[in-house]
Structure 1
Amino acid sequence: MSSFGTNRPSGPREGDYYQRDLTLHPPAFTPIYKTSVTRSPQKALLSLEQGIGEITGPVFTADDLGPLDNDLILNYAKTGEPIGERIIVYGRVLDENGRGVPHTLVEFWQANAGGRYRHKKDTYLAPIDPNFGGCGRCLTDENGYYSFRTIKPGPYPWRNYVNSWRPAHIHFSIFGRSFTQRLITQMYFEGDPLIDVCPIVKTIPDPEAVKRLIAPLDLRATVPLDCRAYKFDIVLRGRRSTLFENRLEGN
């Protein structure tokens, strides 16, 4: 008999997480994604039991956020608003049982409308937008919902092979209830023709997993004459978990 009694609900107890299905995720060694050749592990990965440090934190509150952290249109503006298509990104952070994960920190960062990051190592020819910082954060509400405003990022070339381009995308970091649920991923935009030819996306073996990285346009959530909206739900673990930014060891 389980020490939790016969009336214990089915499924994992609080603090336990389902094993991820690694067959849905990219192999660590994928030559089409050039840098994976040198970054992929040379030895078998280790499986570690969950310790108290992995299942009990971290904890964030609204006091950790600034008033404009979830508004990338305004949080870096100095002489006016940034250039580009104004959009809203919203969705829900879910656990492996489809339940909303409340009060979890969601961080996001991206290139500007021209496809350039505000980073000293980004040397793409597109100009820096003086009114766009490209990063922000928010907390999910009691039902796991989040939202933020931003400028739709542009695609950009990268030094993979000749004429390689990254689709427009936004990076996400989600902490969940504990470090064991931690997820770092990317969101793409519905209808972008570069998704199908991106070397990073092509490393994902499951077409359904690729679809879970693509945010559909949601005209019902738009602000007329202002912002279009894209919906992006995020699943932290389980068989339908959102991919961990092309890193097998993370997911």
Structure 2
Amino acid sequence: MQDHNKRFVERDRNWHPPAYAPGYKTSVPRSPQQALASMQQATASELTGPDFRHLRMGPHDNDLLLNFREDPALAGAAGLPVGERIIMFGRVIDQFGKPVPHTLVEMWQANAGGRYRHRNDRYLAPLDPGFGGVGRTLTDEQGWYRFRTIKPGPYPWPNDPNSWRPSHIHVSVMGPSISTRLITQMYFEGDPLIPLCPIVHTIKDPAAVETMIGRLDMARSKPMDCLAYRFDLVVRGELQTYFENQ
């Protein structure tokens, strides 16, 4: 934990890849063609709301094994998603280790075959009728969050003749307001596709890549049920998680 009396630590922008990265082909048409312009400060509503403590959560919003079933109350394995069952958990903290309570954490992912439930996903892997691929939860007083889900599969993408995305789960942390939303993704410890991914190659600092890797936690795993991966999210400062949209 960092010293609470330590001065504010400015974000290290050298972590972030250039907007124009030819090895990541879709960055070429998306990169700015003109100098960036400074925008005015966000409005009061964007800076102060909403208050996520009053958000009504469903009983299975953070359980992707159940939240897409027609009747989650049904007993047994009928209709459960196919794949390796896992727990994804961690804490949302600031640069000094202070928890960020009552903030909205959202996640979305491909199924065990590497396919998203999205109309534009044309990968040949089948959709899983028992898996929606999205979840949400609120952090508790100590900043903890937890999801139960299926480990997503890797999938090919047309960056070059044989590019594959490592298994990953997208994560959004809202913070105190809409304007503070941060987005990243969690890779899995030991995945051999991580160092081969063209998107990962755009991140030059190995320490930045390490902040996006969930660590196997056998103590939190459930015997004869599922493994657990811990993924802490540091929203600011010298130990921050790498966020794609900063």
TM over 0.5: yes
> In the alignment, residue 77 of structure 1 is paired with which amino acid?
R
TM-score relative to the length of structure 1:
0.87
Check 1:240–1:54 CA distance in 2 against 1; reply closer, same or farther (3 A cut): farther
Check 1:43–1:27 CA distance in 2 against 1; reply closer, same or farther (3 A cut): same
Partner of residue 34, structure 2: 43
Partner of residue 4, structure 1: none
Check 1:10–1:115 CA distance in 2 against 1; reply closer, same or farther (3 A cut): closer
Partner of residue 67, structure 1: 59
CA distance in 2, matches of 1:203, 1:127: 30
Partner of residue 183, structure 1: 182
> Residues 65-104 of structure 1: CA distance to partner in whole angstroms, max 9, x if unpaired?
1110000001112451010000000000112222110000
Q: Give 5+ residue unaligned stretches, structure 2.
A: 71-77
CA distance in 1, matches of 2:241, 2:164: 22
CA distance in 2, matches of 1:180, 1:96: 19
> In the alignment, residue 176 of structure 1 is paired with which amino acid?
G
> Residues 152-179 of structure 1: CA distance to partner in whole angstroms, max 9, x if unpaired?
0000000111110000000011101134
SS of the aligned residue for 2:219 comes to helix
Measure how far apart 1:62 and its partner are.
5.5
CA distance in 2, matches of 1:75, 1:31: 39
> Residues 208-227 of structure 1: CA distance to partner in whole angstroms, max 9, x if unpaired?
00000000100010011001
Partner of residue 82, structure 1: 81
CA distance in 1, matches of 2:200, 2:6: 36
**Contact 1:182–1:236 (CA under 8 A) maintained in structure 2:** no
Matches within 5 A, 1:195-234: 195-234=194-233
Aligned length: 234
Matched, 1:138 2:140: no
> Residues 101-145 of structure 1: CA distance to partner in whole angstroms, max 9, x if unpaired?
000000000000000001111111111000000001000000111
TM-score relative to the length of structure 2:
0.89
Q: Give 5+ residue unaligned stretches, structure 1.
A: 1-8, 13-17
CA distance in 2, matches of 1:49, 1:218: 44
SS of the aligned residue for 2:91 comes to strand
Partner of residue 106, structure 2: 107
What root-mean-square deviation, in Å, do the aligned CA atoms of Structure 1 and Structure 2 show? 1.8
> In the alignment, residue 208 of structure 2 is paired with which amino acid?
A
CA distance in 2, matches of 1:231, 1:194: 19
Measure how far apart 1:180 and its partner are.
4.5
